Chains A and B, each alone.
Chain A
Amino acid sequence: MSERPFAITLEVGSSRANHTGSWRSERPEYVRRMPPCNAACPAGEDIQGWLYEAEAGGGGYHSAWRALVAVNPLPAVMGHVCFHPCEEACNRLALDEAVGINAVERFLGEEAIRRGWEPPSPAQPSGRRVLVVGSGPAGLSAAWQLALRGHHVTLRERSKQPGGMMRYGIPAYRLPRRTLDAEIERITALGVQIECGQRVGSLAYALQEGAFDAAFLALGADVAHHIDIPGATAARVIDAVAFLHATAEGQAPVLGRRVVVYGGGDTALDAARTAARLGHGAGSLPAPQPLAGAPGAQEDPGGEAPPAPQEPVVVYRRTAERMPAHPQELAEAREEGISFRWLSTIAAARGERLVLERMRLDEQGMPQPTGELEELPADCVILALGEEPDLTPLQGLDGVIGEDGRVAVNEAMMTARPGLFAGGDLIAQERNVAVAVGHGRRAARSIDAYLRGFAMPGEEAPEPVAFADLNPWYFTDAPRQVAPKLARIRRQSTFEEVVLTLAEDSALYEARRCFSCGSCFSCDNCYGVCPDDAVLKPGPDGSPYAIDLDYCKGCGMCAAECPCGAIAMVPEQT
């Protein structure tokens, strides 16, 4: 017997001998849930993930960029042109304003170019050869992903330079070519061979001749829809994609002084803004001239006054609210002096004038003719009425073109012909760069699985984390004195071409506004709030916490106080 005090029979011990974990009916588990921004990103980016890296500042930017380009090889391009649906889904909207995701992405993309960050290293060569047709964002994204996975990629492009609509559609004032070139260079640095000026006339032939194991079709859609304007001469009518393409090649056509653009999409606005920049017209718009003889008509004052210079006019059959162009594009066009003739269609051309017919919207919001006519002076009409793909290279491939005349793909982005995949504008309902990049990546994953004989991955869509799943107590809203700064950052992400890339401190600040929806961001709350001292913080900052199940009683406080919904309570099996 040891020397214990009189009448004391037991050695004093620690309560650690008492495993209170046996009380538990539920246990906390660390989870990673889908943040709404990620769920909304058509390119499939792990936005929360790279923002988390960027929050650290300094070396964090590089790791953030690495996480970005693991998914999307064009972050700087995207930072300029993406319509960022992620920001509309951002949970932070419920507190103050969405995180400026797009602006941070642009900062990281430009930072990588500025610092010459190297592409990640590709996997071991697989010995497999893949043909990619079309070097727009869809083709480039697929080529990047395939090269990273060790496949040999041949990319054939019809035009003189790679980039697709990023080079020949989106005007340079919205996307500097220097940025585009730098990101494409990185893709070729990975080993992707881009063969420009090589139109694939017959895919069946190309596949056979090149002995390719698989192919990805990213032909885009650039055959413009045409309408006949009675009385117009072909020389005075040009389609928007051809006009923008020629301008991008430095061969802008002569349009005349008074340019009318017909259509209501983003392409129409880009065409109008490009025409304005080319100097076709300047100054204010003359009032519409009712037709001679029509009620209220006035005589044309005649040729004595000098011809009034004029900004491009966009003619659209519905209203501003119903135009398919993005609202921010419309606002920018208006700021640049583009004028609009809403509820109007072009009925005919008469000499140097267009005859417009007024429309009215019916209950369904569809435009109906009113029979009212007016005139608009015009030297030239740019048609921006939509585009469709040129499917001639697919002739002779059984079943690839469906009965509706379109190319159909399954979940894995594969066409009816095994080994032949397609994506981007060629198949998309929603046509933009992010969708194209997402298609390219998904197709590349499928092609990789196809080549290796694995099952092709499906795209699962877990329920995104809602604002109600977070504990917003821990997030501070913008103090009044900082709010104007916020507004400025938002503007920068909107008027990209006008304002320079975010300064470092603003980008850092934006990144740090992220709630980290659904993923631990190392705030130590769980470690702090456990009344049973049962959460372990074994490693340095940023490494995972652990639950000491010997002592956790399952009260759920850690889960309730986790700011970002990264702890779930799951029932114990009994």
Chain B
Amino acid sequence: MSAAADRSPQAERRDEGLRFYQTGTFAVGGRLLAEHQRTVQSQPRRPSSLTKGHRACQGCGEALGARYALDAALRAAGGRLIAANATGCLEVFSSPYPESSWQLPWIHSLFANAPAVASGIAAALRAKGREDVRVVGQGGDGGTVDIGLACLSGMFERHDDVLYICYDNQAYMNTGVQRSAATPPGARTATTEPLGGHPGNDFGQGKSAPLIALAHEIPYVATATVAELHDLEAKVARAMEIRGPRYLHLLVPCPLGWGSEPSETILIARLAKESGLFPVFEAIDGAIHAVAKIRRQVPVREYLRRQRRYAHLFADGGREDVIDRLQAAADRNIVRFGLLEGSAPLAGDLLGAPAPGELDDLSGAQAP
């Protein structure tokens, strides 16, 4: 599963040939792939941690993302994994009493406290000397970025041995699409109703949970989408090799809240990344280590126009000014994270190590 697994030069050459065909990097599996190139999802007997019969909407990105991520984590943990879940769609659609879709030990407590519950489980396991059992905490963007942030920050700074996964669908979906601090500018939600005829979320608000996690300098922070399974599985596998707090931020389109076609969930996640609006990166010990390059760049318009939450930007003559600002935000990401082939993340940004000059400035400022 890990793309970084050792390979012989012959295997490398064969893969080169295979890439022409289609497989290896993008499709889920393929009859011609070597075992090490196959995803967990392609296995005939994958764990399916979130099994069928759940009540998520048609085409739910969160349901898909949870199975992708937890199956990979289960595989990495040798099947010994406990999950603590925040309140939200993922919890509600998977566990209407007395049914459960979970095929691993799973607990739900409150909206705000999933990171703390996970921390507690990790502490208990440590006390019992059961370090073979691993822990995942998970929740939606509301449960993570807003109400659960204090618990999450505590989990990070205490260095608890938990992988926390945020399923980011950019609003409070379960209660009817209210704005969260992860709702992007320009997007309409039930709580960004027109004040002066502009129903989109404001610019200049909200926060980035991955960058907040990064600022804690925890051992592992990564973003991913449901559109790139190989990347996602490799990141989960890498995170599971590490002990201590780890954070994975997974973009999961929501057909209901975004007003998109259920069949286009993966396409939309892909366009979010390919437009630069959602940077996909990986950071180790507080510094960006790798970014997923844009493969077939698209203007943000291609991403926006498929979602009714942005319909007001295209209706009645359109709001080119807003679209331009969103494009500018994507362009900024592209430069800041070095998303184009051949470019590198900006040095001196908060994400990487400070540039040498900046270091001097800092030490100068500290001198009396």
A: residues with CB less than 8 A from B are 10-20, 23, 55-56, 473-476, 478-479, 482, 505, 508-509, 512-515, 521-525, 527-534, 537-538, 541-542, 548, 550-551, 553-557, 559-561, 563, 569
Contacts and interface: CB of A to CB of B under 8 A. Distances in A.
Task: Report, nearest first, the 6 A-B pairs whose CB atoms are least far apart.
Answer: A524-B29, A528-B28, A556-B263, A15-B53, A555-B59, A512-B21
Contacts of A474: 22-23, 26-27
Nearest to B28: A528
A297 to B, nearest CB: 61
A397 to B, nearest CB: 53
B355 interface: no
Contact of A13 (B61, B99, B261, B265): B99
A533 B67 contact: yes
Given A56-B32, A555-B58, A555-B263, A473 B270 contact: yes
Interface stretch (B41-49, B126-134, B137-145): B41-49
11 contacts: A11-B98, A18-B55, A473-B270, A524-B27, A528-B28, A528-B42, A531-B61, A532-B52, A532-B56, A548-B52, A553-B59
Given A555-B263, A557-B265, A509 B20 contact: yes
A479 B19 CA distance: 9
Given A55-B21, A512-B20, A561 B266 contact: yes
B99 A17 contact: yes
Contact of B53 (A56, A505, A551, A555): A551
A20 B101 contact: no
Contact of B28 (A475, A527, A554): A527
B84 to A, nearest CB: 18
A534 B52 contact: yes
B98 A533 contact: no
A443 to B, nearest CB: 37
Given A509-B17, A524-B29, A14 B58 contact: no
B252 to A, nearest CB: 10
A563 B19 contact: no
B99 A523 contact: no
A10 B42 contact: no
B22 A476 contact: yes
Contact of A23 (B26, B58, B267): B58
B100 interface: yes
B322 to A, nearest CB: 28
Given A14-B99, A555-B265, 8 more contacts: A17-B53, A476-B25, A513-B20, A525-B27, A534-B52, A537-B44, A550-B52, A555-B59
B60 interface: yes
B331 interface: no
Q: Choose among B22, B26, B99, B100 the residue with the greatest number of A CB atoms under 10 Å from its CB.
A: B22
Contact of A14 (B17, B51, B267): B51
Nearest to B21: A512
A376 to B, nearest CB: 50
Contacts of A560: 263-264, 266-267
B64 interface: yes
Contacts of A13: 98-100
A537 B41 CA distance: 11
B63 interface: yes
B52 A524 contact: no
B261 to A, nearest CB: 8
Contacts of B64: 529-531, 557
A80 to B, nearest CB: 25
Interface in B6-45: 16-23, 25-32, 39, 41-42, 44
A541 B28 CA distance: 13
A164 B171 CA distance: 74
* Band of interface residues on B: 35 or more
Contacts of B304: none
Interface of B: 16-23, 25-32, 39, 41-42, 44, 48, 50-56, 58-61, 63-64, 67, 94, 97-101, 229, 255, 261-267, 270, 296
Given A522-B31, A523-B27, A533-B51, A15 B98 contact: no
A531 B21 contact: no
A513 B21 CA distance: 4
A515 B22 contact: yes
A23 B56 CA distance: 11
B260 to A, nearest CB: 11
Q: Choose among B30, B53, B55 the residue with the greatest number of A CB atoms under 10 Å from its CB.
A: B53
A102 B64 CA distance: 42
B101 A14 contact: yes
A100 to B, nearest CB: 12
A117 B339 CA distance: 53
A399 B21 CA distance: 53
A408 B148 CA distance: 81
A531 B27 contact: no
Nearest to B97: A10
A553 B58 contact: yes
Given A524-B28, A528-B41, A529-B64, A557 B21 contact: no
Contact of B98 (A12, A527, A529, A550): A12
B98 A557 contact: no
Given A523-B30, A557-B262, A533 B50 contact: yes
B28 A525 contact: yes
Given A531-B265, A555-B262, A15 B31 contact: no
Contacts of A476: 19-20, 22, 25-26
Contacts of B44: 537-538
Nearest to B67: A533
Contact of B31 (A479, A527, A529, A542): A542
Contacts of A478: 20
Contacts of B59: 531, 553, 555-557
A184 B40 CA distance: 50
Contacts of A524: 27-30, 39, 41-42
Contacts of A20: 52-55
Contacts of A473: 26, 270, 296
A10 B96 CA distance: 12
Q: Choose among A478, A538, A560 the residue with the greatest number of B CB atoms under 10 Å from its CB.
A: A560
Nearest to A10: B98
B262 A556 contact: yes
A433 to B, nearest CB: 29
B100 A15 contact: yes
Contacts of A479: 19
Q: Choose among A23, A476, A479, A531 the residue with the greatest number of B CB atoms under 10 Å from its CB.
A: A531
Contact of A532 (B20, B22, B25, B54): B54
Nearest to A563: B22
Contacts of A56: 31-32
Contact of A527 (B41, B51, B63): B41
B53 A18 contact: yes
Contacts of A534: 52
Contacts of B20: 476, 478, 482, 509, 512-513
B100 A557 contact: no
B99 A18 contact: yes
Contacts of A533: 48, 50-52, 67
A553 B50 CA distance: 15
A508 B17 contact: yes
A558 to B, nearest CB: 9
Contact of A15 (B21, B27, B101, B296): B101
B232 to A, nearest CB: 11
A16 to B, nearest CB: 5
A173 B52 CA distance: 63
B45 to A, nearest CB: 9
B53 A527 contact: no
Contacts of B266: 529, 557, 560-561
A219 to B, nearest CB: 44
B97 to A, nearest CB: 7
Contacts of B263: 555-557, 559-560, 569
B229 to A, nearest CB: 6
A527 B29 CA distance: 9
Contacts of A556: 59, 261-263
